[in-house]
């Protein structure tokens, strides 16, 4: 279980940080195709990026699988990468490539969360699509902010790995009393889901505001910047809303965060309208 003395707690945190660093080190693209695709997307060169992406068959398959989900509502299958990038646009295309990179780290067999490749990809797609709808509603066009939602699924993979290192401690803590997994993660490892998001954002060399937004989206670390804080409220609601869907409840993801209603009450009604919640 979690150490009761400060020295042992500190040691646990150091061990956890080493493991987090090891996983985060694997996240940036390793192949020349992924690097060039992201570079071209960052430059807004959709056509050139699509031609490069064609060379990675696994990426091509992933993109087709994402854009042809019912969530996007296309009646005919979209298979051409240029068309897919055109449909998604620069920001969403870049974010989808980030999601692909993250999916490569997904464990072959999840131990704590009842997930698989299909359900994890579904989580990525739902968060991405809904976040884009939110940003369109808020009239925000910023590719870095749009890509920020990819940090949450990435941190879940890292959290799964950390929990598996202390699986018996996790089960014991959960059996003693009701406690969200994010709190357990913090107690056992000295770092929470949103700290992991921040580390990944730094690794991806995202602007400082992205780390501030994802940290504030915890609902307990509000940002002093009003714009960032507003975005964080929307992100907090989106994360809670999606993790409350039946398939993710069954996966155990709904136990991850504690819903902070007081933090988001001022935008809650607006959120329900955008999500078309009745």
**What does the alpha-carbon distance between residue 228 and residue 217 come to, in Å, rounded to a whole number?**
9
Q: Over the stretch 157-202, which tens digit does the pLDDT of each residue have?
A: 988 988 888 888 888 887 776 788 888 888 888 888 999 899 888 8
* Banded model confidence at residue 5, pLDDT cuts 50, 70, 90: very low
Do residues 218 and 252 make contact, with C-beta atoms less than 8 angstroms apart? no
Q: Distance between CA 156 and CA 17 in Å, rounded?
A: 15
- Pair of tokens at residue 101: 């990179």
pLDDT digit string, tens, across residues 99-117: 888 888 888 889 889 999 8
> Is the model more confident about 206 or about 16?
206
Q: Residue 99: which of 132, 121, 77 has the closest Cα?
A: 121
């Amino acid at each position: 279980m979690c150490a009761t003395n400060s020295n042992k707690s500190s040691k646990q945190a150091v061990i956890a940080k080493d493991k987090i660093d090891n996983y985060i080190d694997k996240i940036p693209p390793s192949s020349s195709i992924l690097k060039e695709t992201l570079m071209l997307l960052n430059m807004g060169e959709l056509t050139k990026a699509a031609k490069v992406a064609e060379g990675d068959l696994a990426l091509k398959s992933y993109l087709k699988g994402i854009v042809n989900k019912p969530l996007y509502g296309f009646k005919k299958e979209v298979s051409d990468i240029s068309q897919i990038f055109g449909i998604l646009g620069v920001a969403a295309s870049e974010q989808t490539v980030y999601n692909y990179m993250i999916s490569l780290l997904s464990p072959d067999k999840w131990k704590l969360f009842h997930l698989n490749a299909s359900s994890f990809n579904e989580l990525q797609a739902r968060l991405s699509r809904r976040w884009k709808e939110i940003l369109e509603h808020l009239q925000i066009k910023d590719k870095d902010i749009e890509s920020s939602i990819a940090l949450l699924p990435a941190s879940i993979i890292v959290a799964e790995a950390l929990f598996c290192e202390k699986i018996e401690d996790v089960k014991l803590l959960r059996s003693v009393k009701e406690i969200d997994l994010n709190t357990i993660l913090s107690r056992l490892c000295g770092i929470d889901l949103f700290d992991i998001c921040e580390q990944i954002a730094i690794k991806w060399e995202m602007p400082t505001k992205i780390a501030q937004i994802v940290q504030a989206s915890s609902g307990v670390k509000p940002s002093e910047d009003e714009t960032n804080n507003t975005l964080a409220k929307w992100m907090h609601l989106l994360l809670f809303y999606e993790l409350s869907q039946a398939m993710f409840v069954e996966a155990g993801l709904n136990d991850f965060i504690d819903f902070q209603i007081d933090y988001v009450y001022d935008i809650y009604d607006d959120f329900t309208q955008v999500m078309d919640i009745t």
